[in-house]
Amino acid sequence: MSLMTEMGQKAFDLGVPIAVHLDVTYRCNERCVHCYLEHDDHGEMTTAEIKSVLDQLAEAGVFFLTFSGGEVFLRRDFFELVEYARRLLFNVKIKTNAVMIHEEEARRIRALGVDSIQISVYSHRPEVHDAITKLPHSFERTMKAIRFLKDQGLKVTIANVLMTANLSDHYQVQKLAAEMGVHYTVDPTITPMMDGDTSVLGLRIPAEGLTEVFRNPALVANMEEFCAPPKAPTEDDLEGYSCSAAHSFCYISPYGDVFPCVQFPLPSGNVRQQKFLDIWNRSPQLNEVRSIQAKHLTVCSSCSHVSSCTRCPGLAYMEGSMRGPSIADCEKSYYRTGVPTANMLRLGIEKPRGGPLVQIQPLAVSI
Amino acid sequence: MSETYIARSSAIAARMLAGQMMIMNSADSTFFTLSEVATAIWQAADGRTPLREIVRNHVCEQFDVDPEQAHMDAEQFVAELSTHGILLVADHPLEAP
């Protein structure tokens, strides 16, 4: 176990929020077809409010701080916030579409000691990327920004969300990342809108497409192990928890709302009304999430995949119950291993999502 | 005798967790945890106080150790952290972190 993993486990065991994802705005200069956010500003926290939150997070023991959005650089005070966070000695990561990053911004990011920058790139083909972001020339601007950041010696990761429109492009995006000397990460998860609207789920890649992703040796280090049939769960597996949400991680929205995770829209308090640590320690919602072990899961506890499934309690919550299964994760387990999940057997589904899927509309180009 | 001055690098991230100081250097992604004694030295690294004085005030007094041995250990620790860019070391006072 690496030292960092060991400290992460210690934070989990002690209930210390070692990592927080803070969205500083939902406003955005792109309009990505799959985005789960509503982009109007309904009263973002002010500079002073966010600085106060940062003080409280430092006091609570937060080490890893991710600034995200919306597009973070739409906030005029963004560099002021990053500078403040760095003075408090956070390890700062930034998620951005990078279209507003030029040479000067890259230099300032470097000077502030930011750990890394994750940038969304959907395709190696400009027309496909721009059709997804709905911002003309966004591919070109994002690519330029990546080069500026690399010139500063910064760590950059290209994040490639997969959907129907760009499924066939992930090999090329990965190649592009390698050519540019940046990291690459791929995610086939399309999340329902935060208000529960599931219309964007129609953009998910065809279920069979997951097999291609899971069996790509360039993406999966040990395919044999990764795609192996699930092992019978041990007692420890059943005592285990789904993820770090509410244990050592949480999410704060631009309006100060606290949630167990960015993908888990269970309102658990608001930092405009309560101190962060009061919410972290006393929120009934966070405590409920913390109390759920694998053995408590209504369907998944009896599933053969329970020890290796990537079950997301946030997606399960959006599907109806934080203790229930998440069909999106059932699909991943099935297409990874070929073994049906308990949820599929219960519902009499032989193969998840066999029907035709809605294609992205409107796309300006034929893909 | 020349003095050693130490200052915390501005490129690092740091936080206490269960009595251990976690330190990460974003430049090379090195991750460390410091012992209680090392944490005391690191926290006192203001660039202006000589290392010998830091050891006397923050190590010998708090941890009841032999001053000469503590100073030698501290020199070694400081040299190691400086190679990872976590501490800046000089024979003259440094700008405060």
Contacts of B15 in chain A (CB under 8 A): 18, 58, 61-63, 89-90
Percent above pLDDT 70 for chain B: 97
Asked if A1 is an interface residue toward chain B (Cβ–Cβ < 8 A), one would say no
* Burial class of A25 by CB neighbour count within 10 A (0 to 12, 13 to 18, 19+): buried
Confidence (pLDDT) at B1 = 62
DSSP for A274-295, please give it: S-HHHHHHH-HHHHHHHH--GG
- Distance between CA atoms of residues B35 and B61, nearest Å: 16
Using CB atoms, which residue from B13, B15, B18 is nearest to A10? B18
* DSSP annotation string for A189-240: --PPPTTS--GGGGGSPPHHHHHHHHT-TTT-S-HHHHTSPPPPP-HHHHH-
Shortest Cα distance, chain B CAs vs residue A116, angstroms: 8
Instruction: Count interface pairs A-B at CB distance under 8 A.
Output: 55
> Best residue in A92, A114, A115, A183 to probe B by mutation, most B CBs within 10 Å?
A115
> Which tens digit of pLDDT belongs to each residue from A240-282?
998 999 999 999 999 999 999 998 999 999 999 999 999 999 9
What pLDDT band is residue B84 in, cutting at 50, 70 and 90? confident
Query: What 3-state DSSP class applies to B76?
Result: helix
Percent over 90 (pLDDT), chain B: 51
Angle at A56 between CA A3 and CA A277, to 5 degrees: 85
The per-residue pLDDT for range B15-65, each reduced to its tens digit, is 999 989 999 998 888 898 998 888 989 999 999 999 999 999 988 877 778
In B, minimum Cα distance to A2 occurs at: B31
Contact residues on chain A for B33, CB-CB shorter than 8 A = 3, 7
Token readout for A363 is: 């796309």
Residues in B touching A92 (Cβ below 8 Å) = 13
pTM: 0.90
Ranges under pLDDT 50 in chain A: 354-367
Using an 8 Å Cβ cutoff, are A63 and A19 in contact? yes
Contact B26 A114 (CB under 8 A): yes
Q: Is A152 helix (H, G, I), strand (E, B) or coil?
A: coil
Surface of B (10-29) touching A: CB under 8 A: 10-18, 20, 22, 24, 26-27, 29
pLDDT score for A352 = 64
Asked if A73 and A105 touch (Cβ cutoff 8 Å), the reply is: yes
State the complex-level ipTM.
0.89
A155 in contact with chain B, both atoms CB, cutoff 8 A: yes
